[in-house]
Amino acid sequence: MKKTLLICLMALMTITAFAQEASVRVFAHRGGKAEFDENTLTAFNGAYKAGFRGFETDIRMTKDGEFVLLHDSELPNGKGNVETSKAKEIKNIKVGKSKVLFLEDLLEWIQKKGDIQYFEFELKTDPSLYSQEMVEQMCEAIYHKIMATKPVGSTFVITSFDPRPLSYLKSRFSESNLMLITSEPVNTATITMATEMGIKRLAGKLDGTSLDAVKKAHKEGLFVSLWPTDEIEEVALGISLGADAVCTDIPVAAKKALNKAMPWVTIAF
């Protein structure tokens, strides 16, 4: 592992050797799911205190139309699912030792901080659970909620594995920042998928993504984000491949390691 990290860091040094400074976009996946209770204020505050201003979260819709930040449909306590439960049945459930977070609470936190630079809102619209009507209802409500609270100068991106919300949002709000997430690496097929949809951002798996593929995506005008990274060398590798952003589960550890190894690099977001 240490040998791999050294190789990655050497690659980064080669890339930045002729630059006085470099900026690396690294953001906290679910607030830093390997270091904190994911998708909770504990996580977002923890990564924020470490210096991060870029984050990602997951959004699901309750039976009564509220939005809760949970990755899985099954509730953390194992008693039911988000989509078949009302908000009042969920609000006191814990994720680890932290309280389940709703979208309104997160947006209030963002407003209070005032300096959040980047946020990805992933819509978890599993086709088996969300009809087209539900997808459209979710898109309309979430778009208006997040845009009403977006700090000046920040970037809010709505993402999904499901093409349906992205296509709907593109047709309704042409100015929206949208990202297609894929469980495949960045390659010809995933690049084509994004470009044919007219989506300008592509999130692909780090494993299997090559430098040439990232270059090809950039030639097509795509913003490239790589995931997942839950080890330091994976973060370094994502950066060395030329990704525009790297999504990490270990924001605190990653920032500390990168700052020590490459003090000339600014961890953006």
pLDDT in tens, 232-246: 999 989 998 999 999
Say what the pLDDT of residue 63 is: 97
Query: Residue 3: pLDDT above 60?
Result: no
Q: What is the pLDDT of residue 18?
A: 37
Token reading at 243: 């990704």
The average pLDDT across 108-127 equals 97
pLDDT band at 37 (very low <50, low <70, confident <90, very high): very high
Amino acid at 122: E
Is 80 exceeded by the pLDDT of residue 12? Answer: no
pLDDT value, residue 25: 86
**Residue 104 amino acid letter:** E
Stretch 112-127: mean pLDDT: 96
Backbone phi, psi, residue 210, to 5°: -110, 165
Mean pLDDT confidence for 138-149: 97
pTM of the predicted protein model: 0.92
Instruction: Identify the residue with better confidence: 217 or 262.
Output: 217
Query: How far, CA to CA in Å, does 6 sit from each of 13, 232, 264?
Result: 10, 10, 17
Average pLDDT of the chain to the nearest whole number: 91
Q: What is the pLDDT of residues 55-99, one digit of tens each?
A: 999 999 999 999 999 999 999 999 999 999 999 999 999 999 999
**Amino acid 247: pLDDT:** 96
Above 90 in pLDDT, residue 21? no
Query: How large is the average pLDDT for residues 113-132?
Result: 97
Q: Tens of pLDDT along 41-53? A: 999 999 999 999 9
pLDDT tens digits along 23-34: 678 999 999 999
Residue % of the chain over a pLDDT of 90: 84
Decide if pLDDT at 13 tops 60. no
Q: What pLDDT, on the 0 to 100 scale, is given for residue 259? A: 80
Query: Which letter, b or e, does each residue of 184-217 get, where b requires 16 or more Cβ atoms within 10 Å of its Cβ?
Result: ebbbeebbebbbeeebbbbbbbbeebeeebbebb
Q: Judge whether 35 and 49 are in contact, CB under 8 Å.
A: no
All structural domains of the chain with their residue ranges:
2-12+24-268
Comparing 62-71, 136-145, 220-229, 259-268, the range with the smallest average pLDDT is: 259-268
CATH class assigned to 2-12+24-268: alpha beta
